[in-house]
Amino acid sequence: MRVRLATLGDLSAIAKIHVDSWRTTYRGMMPDAVLDNLSEERSLKRWTERLAQSPADGSWIYVVEDDRDQVVGFVHGGIPIEPIEGYESQLYAIYLFQSAQGSGLGRALFSAFVDQLIVAGYRSMALWVLRENHPARRFYERMGGVTLDEKNFVMYETELIEVGYGWTNLTRIRPSTLNFTG
């Protein structure tokens, strides 16, 4: 396993992971028509734009490779998309292929991202997750996240509720002992 900063060569894998993860994770939480209409091509375009802006825009994208050197997950985050009172940074997204979940690779991505934030001088982090996404919520709670708040929003004409999680002191999250390049 290896966690490293994403490169242009990772974009197709990131787009595929993004679409596949949404379809497997959000089925039953979002309309099937929305999930079935997701496109790796559109996802690739969005992730190409995001990688071109990172880290100049204050964000980072890391990928994790499995034992076969295949990219199976990614994390993206940086400065808050919208201000979150008391929190300097935000984890925007962390996705893995369903087959890679529960293997420790998500923890590796999370740890590498937190390490990057600490190196960049950030002390705190928040994120938003769908309230119905119980596996992700349990993961964030195991990583020490504290529930902050809930908010309603509309996505694809569907009203959803997100739960905020926060970490006020990133140095209290155990430092990564993983071999990653950044």
CATH number at residue 115: 3.40.630.30
How many domains does the chain contain in total? 1
**Dist. CA 33–CA 28, nearest whole Å:** 11
> Which residues, other chains included, contact 69 with Cβ-Cβ below 8 Å and sequence gap of 6+?
2
Average pLDDT score over residue span 105-132: 95
- Angle between helix axes 11-25 and 40-53 (nearest 10 degrees) is 120
Asked if the model's pLDDT at residue 142 lies above 80, the reply is yes
pLDDT at 172: 85
Cβ(13)–Cβ(81) under 8 Å? no
pTM, two decimal places:
0.91
Domain of residue 52 covers 2-181
Going by pLDDT thresholds of 50, 70 and 90, the confidence category of residue 181 is very low
